[in-house]
Chains A and B, each alone.
Chain A
Amino acid sequence: MINKNDTITPLQSSLLIVQSQVGVGILSLPYSVHAIAKQDAWLSTFLAGFIVNGFIWLIILLAKRFPSQSLFQYTPQLFGKWVGNSLSLMYIIYFILVGSLILTLYLNVIYKWVFDETPIWATLLLMVLISIYLAKEPLRVIARFHGFVTVLILGLIGMVAYSYITIDIRYILPVGQSGILNIFKGSKEAAISFLGYELLLVVFPCILNGRKSALKAATYANLFVTLLYGFVVFTSLIVFSPIEIELVPEPILYMLKAFSSRVVDRIDLLLLSIWMVCVTTSYVTYIYLGGKGIQTLFSLKKQSTAVIIAAFLTYWIPLFLQGEVKIAAFSKYVSNISYIFTIGIPVLLLLISLVFHRKSKEQSL
């Protein structure tokens, strides 16, 4: 069912998850979590990481019952053709929605920080075409790219660490001032930035020795992302004073803007470049997932056709979605339905397969 050739090592799957998780959200993560959890936003971020890890465990528990099939392949087995296929279709729509949310947020930042005049369709097309070029390839090629560009995250950490010249640790003291409830609410806000792990639902069968290694790989990936996000949020909280952070939606970029060195000014542009790569990798993951779904559902022969269809569908939403208010509403909507798709449905599937003892037929694998 899955091409024997198209397997990825556990390390590659780890990096694939990291690159899918780290994406468009990282720039505004401190801002959005701070809006709810105030000075304890960093606690919320860590908390969100732990909760997400629970989700990952559940997803892997489900995937292990169908070790050689992707979500799109086993839903018809579980529910029969009609229900299963409509479930697949819902997932495809979800992946496409997340893809277009990534595009929308990406455009929003690019237009605020770099471009004023460039028409939206051009910037968008550039992104979409380049992503199609990668997403139409087999998973191992995507994993190679995602794995290689993970090196850039180290650069991102270095740049953020650069801002430790002007910090005031007193901004986050006393710890826990906003109360447990707000910290939990904040972690709900943070969790959307962790999205990307649900790719395990589809790519699990491609992971080499997945039954044993996938859990470890995914946990390490999530741990890395949690630490990264925690670090970023923590840094912005101690760089900006509490009232100021409410004024800057992209604190990470903003704090680098002030530093000038002898060689380059405006380090924020370099950070923006790295961030763009991270956004592209997340977007590639989602159109790959969407494309895989379309390919399985409509039994298309070529993956590239399916990916092009998926990418084309994501292209239109950002074109018509202008203005902060609409974008925020869309973002809210997608983040709410994401809970259904990343945890709701998988848990349901797991329960059904447990109750009815449905498993993949080839247990020998």
Chain B
Amino acid sequence: MKITCIVLVLLLLAGCWDQRLLKNARLIYSVAIDLKDDGKLFSSVTIRSVQESGGGQGGSVPVNDYLSATGNTPRQMRQNMDSKLSGEFEASKNRMILLGEKLSYQDIYPILDIFYRDPKSSLGASVAIVDGKADEITRMKQKDEVLIGEYVFTLLKSGERDTYIPKQNVQTICPILFDPGRDLALPYIYKSHSEIPTVGIKGLALMENHQYSGVYLNKTESSLMLLMSNQKGKIARFTKKVKPSEKNRISQYITIDVLDEKAKLQIQKTASGKIRVHVPLQLKVEAIEYPIDHLIDKKTVLALNKKLSGILTKDANRTLNKMQKANSDTLGIGRELMAYHPDLWNKTDWEKDYPEIDLSAKVTVNIVDHGIIN
């Protein structure tokens, strides 16, 4: 009883030492970081705030405030920004980290360190590399009616759904960053400079260790790469020219939707001591657009399967080629070697040997479904 009293008194006497009121916080939604020509970092953020539309009853409209600062380190930039801001700079609900292309040619871990180190920071944020300057995207503040941070975030989410980019956040890229047997592929986005500026996904930027290799995969290649590493999102679609003989241009094409993918790395050691990796990829697909019809005919289907397999195998090998050129092992072949062929791994210098290995793919397409008409 006495103890209960003491505890209560203590609680009452105690201040609220660690109190951080939500009321005073200015919540950052997205951060863009660029490298300036003088070598300093330049960062801009969007802060979401609410504009009262008057009368109290009418509800309120969210708006983005733009804020920027330069500094030598991300933490210094935060400090500089905080000094320009009423209320407290609060990055714990940050959803987007956009890295400028120029910056990403450097080691990106030091940029992200601040996010990993602070217990309050949100590790659920997405990371993307921007073609050009990242600041240009934050500067838009708003894309049509949608706030820019949200816009890019949902853009990436739908990219994950469509198997253009892997499901990633700041936390999940960390194990890959530190894995000698695997490399990272970050979403590569762009802002178009047309009359109506748009922001879109360009593909996947291939990382060589901690920095951008300068090579990126386009959307088809990204999808194939993800399928080969068994990372299909909800939907994976390809539109391919299968009947060049048709007069009608639309009829030349078929669109397929991957229902199920199966890929397995096959690692072999050739007689000459070289490592040979083969990636057989089996796809079960549904034809979702094919104006010529007759998909009930077994022969037609087999012919289409063969045609599609050929086209996609070519695409897949091109993808692998690019990855080797970029020295970016996004499939995790090195990790596979480490786990199942440790003797082989110990003998290789993966950094050097990876572009040299014999890497090939074979895609087998099997149309199993064709919608509600034949």
Contacts and interface: CB of A to CB of B under 8 A. Distances in A.
Chains A, B in direct contact (C-beta < 8 Å): yes
Interface of A: 112-119, 122, 125-126, 129-130, 132-133, 166, 168, 170-171, 173-174, 177, 239-244, 247, 254-255, 257-260, 265-266
Contacts of B169: 258
Nearest to A118: B17
Contacts of B177: 244
Nearest to A268: B119
Nearest to B181: A170
Interface string B266-299: 0000000000000000000000000000000000
A274 to B, nearest CB: 17
Contacts of B122: 260, 265-266
Interface string B37-59: 00000000000000000000000
A133 B3 contact: yes
Given A125-B10, A177-B342, A241-B176, A259 B124 contact: yes
B92 to A, nearest CB: 9
Highest count of chain B CB atoms <10 Å: which of A129, A166, A170: A170
Interface string B56-88: 000000000000000000000000000000000
Contact of A174 (B6, B116, B170, B342): B342
Contact of A244 (B10, B124, B178): B178
A126 B10 contact: yes
Contacts of B175: 166, 168, 171, 239-241, 244
A340 to B, nearest CB: 34
Nearest to B340: A173
B174 interface: yes
A132 B124 contact: no
B18 interface: yes
A125 B11 CA distance: 11
B335 interface: yes
Contacts of B119: 112-114, 257
Contacts of B170: 258
A117 B17 contact: yes
B303 interface: no
Highest count of chain B CB atoms <10 Å: which of A130, A241, A243: A241
B332 interface: yes
B14 interface: yes
A174 B3 contact: no
Nearest to B117: A247
Contacts of B340: 170, 173-174
Query: What are the 3 tightest A-B residue pairs by CB atom distance, in nearest-first order?
Result: A258-B171, A173-B339, A241-B175
A260 B178 contact: no
Interface string B345-359: 000000000000000
B3 A115 contact: no
B174 A174 contact: no
B17 A170 contact: no
Contacts of B172: 166, 258
B352 to A, nearest CB: 20
Interface string B98-142: 000000000000000000100100111000000000000000000
Given A126-B10, A130-B7, A115 B171 contact: no
Contacts of B6: 129
Interface in B1-47: 3-4, 6-7, 10, 14, 17-18
B339 A174 contact: yes
A170 B7 contact: no
Given A114-B119, A119-B17, A241-B178, A170 B171 contact: no
Given A112-B119, A177-B342, A117 B10 contact: no
A68 B126 CA distance: 62
Given A129-B3, A241-B176, A260-B122, A122 B10 contact: yes
Contacts of A122: 10, 14, 17
B18 A114 contact: yes
A240 B116 CA distance: 13
B336 interface: yes
Contacts of A260: 122, 124
Contacts of B123: 257-258
Highest count of chain B CB atoms <10 Å: which of A113, A130, A171: A171
Contacts of A170: 332, 335-336, 338-340
Contact of A115 (B17, B332, B339): B17
Contacts of A119: 17
B179 interface: yes
Given A130-B7, A247-B178, 18 more contacts: A114-B119, A117-B17, A122-B10, A132-B3, A170-B340, A173-B339, A174-B339, A177-B342, A242-B178, A244-B177, A244-B178, A257-B119, A257-B171, A258-B123, A258-B124, A258-B171, A258-B172, A260-B124
A174 B344 CA distance: 13
A113 B116 CA distance: 12
A275 B10 CA distance: 24
12 contacts: A118-B18, A170-B335, A170-B339, A171-B335, A171-B339, A174-B340, A174-B342, A241-B178, A242-B179, A244-B174, A257-B119, A257-B123
Interface in B162-195: 169-172, 174-180, 182
A266 to B, nearest CB: 8
